[in-house]
Amino acid sequence: MAEKALTGAGLRGQVAGQTALCTVGKTGSGLTYYGYDIKELAEKVSFEEVAYLLAYGELPKESQLTEYRTRLKSMRGLPQPLKDVLERIPAEAHPMDVLRTGCSFLGNLETESDFSEADRNIERMLAVFPSIIMYWYRYSHDGVRIETETNDDSIGAHFLHMLHDKAPSELHAAVMNTSLILYAEHEFNASTFTARVCASTLSDIHSCVTGAIGSLRGPLHGGANEAAMDLIENMESPEDAEQTLMGMLERKEKIMGFGHAIYREFDPRNDIIKAWSKKLADEFGDSRLYDVSVRCEDVMWREKKLFPNADFFHASAYHYMGIPTKLFTPIFVMSRVTGWTAHVKEQRANNRIIRPSADYTGPEARPVPALSER
């Protein structure tokens, strides 16, 4: 019985390896990157500094950051063969499938032939993922071929610029910066573990990230922010939100965006993005989505002692910035590629193939009957 319980628990609580990159639910606020608390990182540094930290183990000096940003800017352009592929993907395709295909095809054009090329390929993916998703989105939905080599200093601003055909406001750029920091790394979650399993076979970096994108695509992982938006967008008021949630709870329906596999009382990322959502609501001049989100938070804690995770208030924040719901999870990829690739490097540095065993639950040993006897 214990063995079956472990299988059904999805390996929760089982230690599957070691990492120096991140703590989840263990120290301080509950989340650190290389020892730095997530709240302090979100307040004091840029996403590019966090990306550098995850890639190289230390925050960059000013000169290193300048050089790093310059390299990333120079890598935003798309090869023509990749543009050709993106133009053939239909508008109704899932954007995560677009990124999965884009990453895989990039691996054909810019193959990692030696692990010494990892850092360059990592920076290339970090720089070009926003270009991949926005080139496809604008071509398939608006019929335009956008220029992806913007001069925006930050990756978040680059994304918004391509989406709206103009540089974003300081507020919107700041929110995107924080969002990308919050999503950058989170220990051995499903997509990261996928990347590490792939890396343990000594596969190439593009294969590792392509597999991770496939895992993140699932609604129980990266798709929760889209599900949260689907939940709140039709709620007309806090009172309507409470009535809706109470009905869903009574019917025992799944409510996305609440609770977490590791955190028990709160998600340290929630308060940070919640505060930004409030600022965006004030700027937008319509606080309905924020207000219903707050009521949802209150109801879920009162009724089930469940708290919002990082995804829930991201839904309203992204909406206030004019980001279509279908692009929410690709933003997650734009950020988490930093954590995935850092884990790939860590796995490669001290590698043993990840090959767990399984408890057999099938029939007892039996002879193969003749075809006429089956």
Q: How far, in Å, are 63, 225, 228, 268 from residue 311 at the CA level?
A: 34, 5, 7, 12
List the catalytic residue out of 158, 206, 260, 343: 260
Q: How far is the C-alpha of 366 from the C-alpha of 297, rounded, in Å? A: 55
Q: How far, in Å, are 113, 114, 345 from residue 117 at the CA level?
A: 7, 6, 11
Helix, strand, coil share of the chain (percent; to 5): 60, 5, 35
Q: E-strand spans in the chain?
A: 22-24, 31-33, 36-37
Question: What are the beta bridge partners of residue 31?
Answer: 24
Q: Which of 126, 31, 47, 188 is nearest to 106 (CA)?
A: 126
Q: Is 260 a catalytic residue?
A: yes
CB atoms within 10 A of CB 322: 12
Q: How far is the C-alpha of 257 from the C-alpha of 337, rounded, in Å? A: 21
Whether 290 contacts 278, CB under 8 Å: yes
Q: How far is the C-alpha of 193 from the C-alpha of 178, rounded, in Å? A: 24
3-state secondary structure of 95: helix
Whether 239 contacts 288, CB under 8 Å: no
Q: How far is the C-alpha of 283 from the C-alpha of 350, rounded, in Å? A: 49
Q: Is 84 a catalytic residue?
A: no
List the catalytic residue out of 186, 311, 314, 343: 311
**What is the Cα gyration radius of the chain?**
22
Mark out the alpha helices in the chain (DSSP H runs).
2-8, 38-44, 47-56, 62-74, 80-87, 95-109, 118-142, 155-164, 170-183, 190-200, 205-216, 224-232, 238-250, 268-284, 288-304, 312-320, 328-349
Residues marked as catalytic:
260, 311
